[in-house]
Amino acid sequence: MRAYSSAFRPRSAQGCCRSGSCAATSTVSSLVTGLGAVRASGTRRLLRAQGDVGAKSTACGATARSWAARGPPAEALRTSRTNYRFVVHRNLCYPCDCCGYGDGVPHPGVSEMPSLPRLRRTVAGLTLAGVAATVGLTASTSTADSPNPVTPGNMVGYGFDQCEAPSQAAMTAWLTSSPFRAVGIYMSGALRFCQAQTNLTPTWVQTQLATGWRLLPIHLGAQASCTTRARYQNDKISADPTNAYAAARTQGRNEANVAVTAARNLGIVAQSTIYYDLEAFNAGIASCRSSSLWFLSAWSRQLHKLGYVSGVYSSALSGIKILDDARVTPGNTATLPDQIWIADWNNVADPNSSFVRPDGWVGHRIHQYQGGHNETWGGVSINIDRNYLDLSGVAAPPPPPPPATSTTSDKLSDPKCTPASINRPAYGLTAPRTRTSLVVPLQCLLKQQGLFTRPVSGTWNPATTAAVKGWQARVHHPVQRAFTQSDWTSLLAAGNSATVLSAGVRNPDVVRVQRALNAALSADLRITGGYNRKTQRSVVAYQKRVGIKPTGVVATLTWRALSRGRR
* Residue 282 DSSP symbol: -
Among 530, 504, 533, 523, which residue's Cα sits nearest to residue 562? 523
The 10s digit of each residue's pLDDT in 286-345 is 999 999 999 999 999 999 999 999 999 999 999 999 999 999 999 999 999 999 999 999
- pLDDT band, very low/low/confident/very high, at 507 (cuts 50, 70, 90): confident
286-305 helix and 242-266 helix, angle to the nearest 10 degrees: 40
Among 366, 317, 371, which residue's Cα sits nearest to residue 337? 366
Segment 94-100 shows an average pLDDT of: 31
Q: Over 16-50, what HEC string results?
A: CCCCCCCCCCCCHHHHHHHCCCCCCCCCCCCCCCC
* Residue 395 DSSP symbol: S
Which pLDDT value is given to residue 57? Answer: 33
What are residue 452's phi and psi, to 5 degrees?
Answer: -115, 115
Which pLDDT value is given to residue 146? Answer: 60
How many residues does the structure list for the chain?
567
Percent of the chain as helix, strand, coil, to the nearest 5: 30, 15, 55
Segment 458-467 shows an average pLDDT of: 95
Alpha helices in 332-394 (DSSP H): none
* Cα(374)–Cα(372) distance, integer angstroms: 7
Q: Give 141's Cβ-side CA count (13 Å radius).
A: 1
- For the chain, domains (ranges, CATH) are 6-391 (3.20.20.80), 419-563 (no CATH)
Residue 399 has pLDDT above 60, yes or no: no
Task: Compare 296 and 44 and report the one with higher pLDDT.
Answer: 296
* Cα(364)–Cα(361) distance, integer angstroms: 5
Which pLDDT value is given to residue 362? Answer: 92
Least confident of 129-138, 226-235, 477-486: 129-138
Which pLDDT value is given to residue 1? Answer: 63
Residue 519 has pLDDT above 60, yes or no: yes
Q: Are 87 and 9 in contact (CB under 8 A)?
A: yes
Distance in angstroms between the alpha carbons of the first and the last residue of the chain: 43
CB atoms within 10 A of CB 561: 23
What are residue 100's phi and psi, to 5 degrees?
Answer: -55, -55
Following DSSP, what letter does each residue of 45-97 receive, concatenated? PTT--------PPPPS-S-HHHHHHH---GGGGS-----THHHHSSS-----S
**Percentage of the chain exceeding pLDDT 70:** 71
- CA 55 vs CA 122, 127, 136, 375, 472: distances in Å: 20, 10, 30, 11, 44
Among 64, 67, 26, 375, which residue's Cα sits nearest to residue 198? 26
SS3 for 340?
strand
203: Cβ contacts below 8 Å, ≥ 6 apart: none
* Cα(86)–Cα(107) distance, integer angstroms: 17
* Cα(546)–Cα(538) distance, integer angstroms: 12
Q: Is 465 exposed, middle or buried (0-12, 13-18, 19+ CB in 10 A)?
A: middle
Q: Is 96 exposed, middle or buried (0-12, 13-18, 19+ CB in 10 A)?
A: buried
* Cα(373)–Cα(353) distance, integer angstroms: 21
Average confidence score pLDDT of the chain? 76
Least confident of 107-116, 175-184, 193-202, 549-558: 107-116
* Cα(275)–Cα(186) distance, integer angstroms: 10
